[in-house]
Structure 1
Amino acid sequence: MRRLPRFLVPLVPLALLVGCTDGGVSGGVSGTPGAAGLRDPLFPRLGNGGYDVRHYRLTLEYDPSADRLSGSAEILADATQDLSAFNLDLHGMEVADVTVDGAPAAANRAGDELTVRPRDELRRGAPFRTVVRYAGTPRTITDRDGAEEGWLRTAAGGVLALGQPAGSMAWFPGNHHPSDKATYDVAVTVPRDLAALSNGELVRETTKGAARTSVWRSTAPMASYLATLVIGPYGTTNGRTRDGLPVLSAADPTVAARTAAVAGRVAEVTEWAAGRFGPYPFSSVGAIAVRDGAAGYALETQNRPVIPAGMFDLRTLVHELAHQWYGNSVTPANWRDMWLSEGFATYAEWLWAEDREGTPADDSFAEAYETDANWAFPPAAPPSAEHVSDAPVYGRGAMVLHQVRREVGEEKFLALLKGWPERHRHGNASTRDFTSYAEEVSGRDLGKVWKVWLYGTGGRPR
């Protein structure tokens, strides 16, 4: 991250479903409800316990003239305990009905929590299928630090859906914590003069009358905050890296000309990054250039980062593409581990400057060291949710990595850069996982680095 359809049946008020008995919904189960929230250190209410999502199948229709989204979310999951009920995160929207394994399920709302009570108890280890039909006008969410996410409306009937840290709950129900990654199928129907882009690959596109339906598939696990939906009059360009990796980029027509030169270097940056960080972890790459004002930041949405035109420079592209390894493939275990994402992506900028621009990483380190904002708190311990994207997570996080490089030497540091995303490919990892791994790979006790640079609260070390 960098800052700067209509339903075929009418919606049924959700309250009518709560405690209903016809259709076989009943109490009489011995399991317990899954937790409403995973007690994340910074966002304790995000996510839900008791199950692990394997796949989301979203079928969406958006009417820009009415600013109305209607959809069906099919969620395939495995129970991780005996469940009498479980929760989904959903912000706003009207829920028509919910089924679990094809049977009507009771459900109720409390804020952003949709509690689902299936007819039959879900046994631990058992797969189950939940379908939620919903509709309404999705909302923009303002984060505690003032940034906007969720459903962001743009010009010409367009939409930009961004999810860090919790915005994806504005447009689909799910387990919205980075620790629960899943694969996705997203089918989006919009007016035929608009494009609809999402993550992964476009597997099918059809037009019928005045509507266009685009189907996107992400076969690699993805944290929900990295999911995106971009609707508008976007133009696309296609290409390939020298290794044959597909490159699909898109741009709003009003910014296409001014962003084309940098967008044209996606393949080059990806090839460079693969040399530094190991094989690219996904099946395609690209970037999406949006109008200034659509969002106040760039975001590393999986496969295809979203970058406002005013930020669409080479350093930002390097940063967001580096996230495909650090943050997207290896996703922080919780939001306090965010430095593992942003610190690595910032250090990638330093490496690019060193390899391609003749600026040693020592110089980038010195500049970061002299920046007062980087010393507000330790990178591994943001004091609250408002500070999860503050300077120490980025700049001091990168300084931690540079200190590791100085301690272990070039050969072992290069091995660490490649080995870390290989070991945790398509998974999650914590700060403790990283510190243990760095010492394992280097054969060195790095306790002083961790104490002073990663956790130290005493200001600039001299």
Structure 2
Amino acid sequence: MTPRRRQPARRRTPGLGRGTVLATVPVAVAALLGAGPAGAGTTGAAGAGDPYFPLSGNGGYHVRHYDLTLRYRSGGRLDGTAILTARATQPLTRFDLDLKGLTVGGVTVDRTAASFKRSGQELLVTPRHALRAGQDFRVTVAYHGTPEPVTDPDGSADGWIPTDDGAFVAGEPQGAMTWFPANAHPSDKSSYDFTITVPEGRTAVANGTLLGRRTAKGETTFRWRETEPMAAYLATATIGTFQVRQYTTRDGIRIYDAVDPREAEDAAPVLRQLPSVLEWESKLFGPYPFKSAGSIVDHADVGYALETQTRPLYDSAPDILTLVHESAHQWYGDSVSLTSWKDIWLNEGFATYAEWLYSEQHGGDSAQKTFDALYARPAGDELWAYPPGDPGSGENIFGTPVYDRGAMALHELRKAVGDRTFLRILRGWATEHRDGHGTTTQFERLAERESGTSLNSLFRTWLYTEGKPNKA
């Protein structure tokens, strides 16, 4: 995510489709999804156990694939059918889905009607027959209503955000539940199919590759597919009046740009640089982790951009460093995902440091100069308000320390191990955890392994020390 301060102008069908790839869950993450020891209870937990968002996600199962069929009508109404292909990680007589503010018309489990009830953001589902640990099952939820965003702890809007011509759909950290039923925590990643019908003249943009579009009877249906594992907060179904440009880079990446005409003139010079940015980042971080890329530039004034997987979402025309930041997230945050929101610096510190490196290598300030300017801030500055490795609450996860002090930690690591080893660490992190998850502890171990050096003091100082650290 890129917060408002970085934006230049307003400165955050049943069955699986053919060819669909089911995302698998790494063994190390199974515990986060509610797998319990023999004799554990048979009710899936109401949350994934995250300390900052205790009700986000759910226990007892892993969603392998979402098939979302949506019809958006002028006036904001949404009719949806969600088919979740899942696997139980424990015996289940009941499980929860995250869904807020929409009316549920019916739920089936393996085509048999299931009972359900609502409790806040939880949809409690009781299948007619209990599920065994390891059993694959399919949940279908029919729902409708007028989606509304949630307000995050920091006061920003998140989720399905209405615009004057559709919706700006940005789900970090908890907004996925505003438009589809989900296991909505980054520890659970899945593949996706989207079938989105909108009034003729509007465009619906989702993740992955556009499989086709068809117009009939005053409506246009767009079909999208993301085969790589994706956290629910990175899914989008942004709707608006867009100018669309499609092409393929020389590296074979399929680009789809959708731009609100009101932002087109300002956005064009920056979006033209996307292929060169991805090529530059690929040299640093390793091969681009997805088959497609692009941008959604809306006219939304919500105050941030978001790294929606394969197709970052901007609320206005971005500048080049915002484009670099959101593109870097495709490696750090999207392909390599969090297991806990407490580790958010692994997303934002890395993407911010990508900006520093880009500036350094493209005629701007060196990373050291950027570091020095930040370090010169007084001890009472917001930069030192809390340590990036332990922000303390959901209210702080998008604050200055996570972004800038997180990047400062990486710069200190670079100075300690040297450029060659540092870049090997960055590439190793993206490669070893591709399509999976990572923790700060795992990153620290990787850095020590690659450098052959004990780095405990460095990480303790820059990630966990309260207040302004002393320079080494």
TM tier relative to shorter chain? over 0.9
Counterpart of 1:21 in structure 2 is none
SS of corresponding position for 2:412: helix
Counterpart of 2:108 in structure 1 is 99
For 1:323, which of 310, 325, 329 is the aligned residue?
329
Deviates more, 1:274-283 or 1:37-46: 37-46
For 2:70, which of 60, 75, 80 is the aligned residue?
60
Distance 1:32 1:239 in 2: 50
Distance 1:332 1:366 in 2: 29
Please tell me whether residue 313 in structure 1 is matched to residue 322 in structure 2. no
Counterpart of 2:98 in structure 1 is 89
5+ residue gaps, structure 2: 5-12, 14-39
**Residue type at the aligned position of 1:275:** K
CA positional deviation for 1:358: 4.1
CA deviation map 1:296-332 (0-9, x unaligned): 101001001111225x100100000000000000011
CA positional deviation for 1:56: 0.2
Counterpart of 1:304 in structure 2 is 311
For 1:73, which of 70, 74, 82 is the aligned residue?
82
Counterpart of 1:285 in structure 2 is 293
CA positional deviation for 1:250: 1.1
SS of corresponding position for 2:449: helix
The structure 1 segments of at least 4 consecutive aligned residues displaced by more than 3 Å after TM superposition are: none
Please tell me whether residue 245 in structure 1 is matched to residue 285 in structure 2. no
For 2:156, which of 147, 154, 159 is the aligned residue?
147
Counterpart of 2:402 in structure 1 is 393
Counterpart of 1:404 in structure 2 is 413
Contact 2:338 2:439 in 1 (8 A): yes
Please tell me whether residue 195 in structure 1 is matched to residue 190 in structure 2. no
Distance 1:292 1:69 in 2: 19
CA positional deviation for 1:359: 2.2
For 2:262, which of 238, 248, 254 is the aligned residue?
254
SS of corresponding position for 2:64: strand
Distance 1:36 1:370 in 2: 45
Counterpart of 1:455 in structure 2 is 464
Contact 1:412 1:441 in 2 (8 A): yes
Aligned pairs for 1:44-443 (under 5 A) are 44-65=54-75, 67-155=76-164, 157-293=165-301, 295-309=302-316, 312-371=318-377, 372-443=381-452
CA deviation map 1:104-157 (0-9, x unaligned): 1011100000000011111001111000000011112111111101111112x3
SS of corresponding position for 1:255: helix
Percent identical residues: 48
CA deviation map 1:212-266 (0-9, x unaligned): 1001000000001111111111111122322121111110011111111101111
Count of equivalent residues: 435
Distance 2:363 2:152 in 1: 36
Please tell me whether residue 36 in structure 1 is matched to residue 46 in structure 2. yes
Contact 1:182 1:221 in 2 (8 A): yes
CA deviation map 1:397-434 (0-9, x unaligned): 00111111111111111111111010000111111111
**Residue type at the aligned position of 2:393:** S
> TM-score, structure 1 length as denominator?
0.92
Contact 1:70 1:135 in 2 (8 A): yes
Distance 1:358 1:288 in 2: 27
SS of corresponding position for 2:293: coil
CA deviation map 1:384-408 (0-9, x unaligned): 1111110111001001111111111
Distance 2:428 2:351 in 1: 16
* Larger relative contact order (Cα-Cα within 8 Å, sequence gap ≥ 6): 2
Please tell me whether residue 2 in structure 1 is matched to residue 9 in structure 2. no
CA deviation map 1:346-377 (0-9, x unaligned): 00000001111242111111122234222111
Contact 1:369 1:460 in 2 (8 A): no
Contact 1:31 1:121 in 2 (8 A): no
SS of corresponding position for 1:32: coil
SS of corresponding position for 1:77: strand
Query: Could you say if the C-alpha distance between residues 367 and 51 of structure 1 is closer, same or farther in structure 2, counting changes exceeding 3 Å?
Result: same
